[in-house]
Structure 1
């Protein structure tokens, strides 16, 4: 079996995790729900003030990633002595589960009808403490057997682009502007209400590019180019930030695809050495691109 990608929604050693889930977690579902409702309320107090709106929508809509990360950090730093009575048993159940060998980690994937989702996977129990980030009428916390939740891995960069277009009304183009980053960040994305970005810099997507020997990246880089005007606007910003941009889309496409082949042939060791430098350059490129804001979609 292939090793797990970062945040991949898949269970390793499923039989053992199911036994531990049934023994430690399922008898305490009401207490676990109370625990995560308490953590969510605490997170809301901070996050709603820090980011009252995202991509033109009021908090918590669209803030699944931020909420899930905040709850993961809150669990790590939690003082059980400060929990309300109803949540104490939930924390104790999680502690017993982990002490017995149960695994818990944050996962990210595609859920039919709800797009890309972040959640906590504890054994075989999926804990979605940001359920209302796609539909404000839903309760914030849902505890669902993983087998019934329908959370699946994003298959490749083409799948990611299709999901982004559906979920965020994004316009997605191949990254022919900055070939040096294209094997890891093969997409240029314009999300209404946000900025132009090179994608995908999620740990899962970066690792997926490597595991596919960069064939996932090459498939989207072979797509038709962005308009000349957009290429020029993005290229000018990145050039001013010190990046070596392609002269035009045709040159950038050829160079990007050639790098994918080179990275494929270089093997794992070279990819490991390149990974951190790529992350640093990608963060710098996206910081520079923040000046290119995308108009929000009109209401209604």
Structure 2
């Protein structure tokens, strides 16, 4: 474990590498989701397998989450993107990295690859989308519900979660409510500048997008294929938003294959393709 000052915000970072002393073949940076998530969702699913496959694996708690610092303000999407840029500088990681983003972590990954295309070899996102106007509207609704339902448990939401999802999930939900209530994260994120289709089209690195077949985000698959010429989308039937936790082996295999295929990403030649996995 390490705490690294990334341009004024202290971030909790974990790093795994090949255990046999081999040099890493590439660097994968794993970005988690919003509010209830942390680097633990990777640490206990795919990260060890990525390291065993020869990757240098970097995971960190995003600002306000996990063991990272929780400032009162400064939660714009640009701030999250800036944290990633500063972290790569502080870790002195050479060359382009492979970004793996779950949910909001994928949104940060899209934004970073557009801002710093020279530092990104590929993107793999799980249940995620770029920061479009549609994304901003959904996020505003989600943050509003969290603020209302988790503030004082007046609706009994936390009791329901504890009964039906367990104490650990209830504690995460309570922490999410505290983050929304005690910081400007809701105001900052919902006020961020969204991406136009032309800006998304400017993204040229290879993109793998994995969705639960029963998730409402699965409708992002055709949009991404239409906008991004180097995009592969995969739908995993029987899953909704918690694909990373529910189907870690499938996510692991898909992402490792994508990184291997794009370890030395070349000219723009790959065609967009959709895959449905039984």
TM-score by length of 2: 0.28
Tell me which protein shows more helix as a share of its residues.
1
For the pair shown, which has the larger CA radius of gyration, 1 or 2? 1
Would you tell me which structure has more strand in proportion to its own residues? 2
